[in-house]
Structure 1
Amino acid sequence: MTRKLVHTTRMPIRWGDMDAMGHVNNTVYFRYIEQARIAWLESISSAPNPEGEGPVIVNAHCSFLKQLKYPGEIEVATLVGPAGRSSFEMYHEIRLVGADGVAGALHADGGAKVVWVNFPAEKSAPLPDALRQLLPEPE
């Protein structure tokens, strides 16, 4: 499957991200992924516009490979797959940043199917050409 790296973002692990078990709660990984997704969409001027068009998530998944704990910093790599008419797949890799400032081992990976929607009409819409051009060609 073709995937193209389009963005990386770093964010701190916050004290409140942990649960009673002393590690980052599984629901928080989805917040990390959401923040990375929105950061990329904003960077390409494609953030959701409730009065017009924008992306919505129709499904999401995450595999938890290693625990994350406070304190720390993570790097979330955002990758995208080929375009459909109105949708594309996004993928995310979450890595812990080491003391040397380098992102290390994979701690979680996940993704979501993104559908472009005309919000007032409540219907899917073709992906904008500017966004489509950023996505990899189908195999």
Structure 2
Amino acid sequence: MDELLKGFPVVIELPVVWGEMDAFQHVNNVVYFRYMETARIAYFLKMNYMKIMEETGLGPILASTQCRYRFPLTYPDSVSVGARVPHVEEDRFRMEYRIVSHRHQKVAAEGDALIVSYDYRKRTKAPLPEAVRRYILEMEERRT
């Protein structure tokens, strides 16, 4: 399991819940996005993004996201979801996710998202706060 999530500075563990299954007897595709969202928020909390947003009005906004399904998850199971940021630009960064099944010990899905820095007071795109850029670089440096 550790090898499958090597290089991800934030890893969370979540149960696969019976109610996440759909009529096709596997976890519904939308649920994978919830798993990735939960990992994204864990990453933001680890780097104090919410506090920075509160102080500056500058915060993250999701511009796009996608998921590549590798195999269907089913109940009962648990997953570990890794999050990392391989690329940072002036006003945005790309976040990657990996969802790993505990029961099968393999990657169930991989995804990514484009996160844009947004000024919630002015309602416009804004440069990434320097503190956010620094936290990301520090967290990603520690993963290598």
TM-score (norm 2): 0.82
2:98 matched to which residue of 1? 93
2:80–2:101: 8 Å Cα contact kept in structure 1?
A: yes
1:82 matched to which residue of 2? 87
1:11 matched to which residue of 2? 14
2:29 to 23, 26, 51: 26
CA distance in 1, matches of 2:77, 2:114: 29
Identity of matched residues, %: 34
Runs of 5+ unmatched residues, structure 2: 1-6
Relative to total residues, which structure has the larger strand share, 1 or 2?
1
2:58–2:129: 8 Å Cα contact kept in structure 1?
A: no
Report whether the alignment pairs 1:37 with 2:7: no
Q: What is the number of equivalent residue pairs in this alignment? A: 130
CA distance in 1, matches of 2:9, 2:128: 17
| Superposition RMSD in Å | 2.0
Q: Which runs of 4+ in 1 moved over 4 A?
A: 48-51
Question: What whole-Å deviation, never above 9, does each CA across 1:89-137 have from its counterpart, x for those lacking one?
Answer: 0000000113xxxx82111000100001111211112112222122369
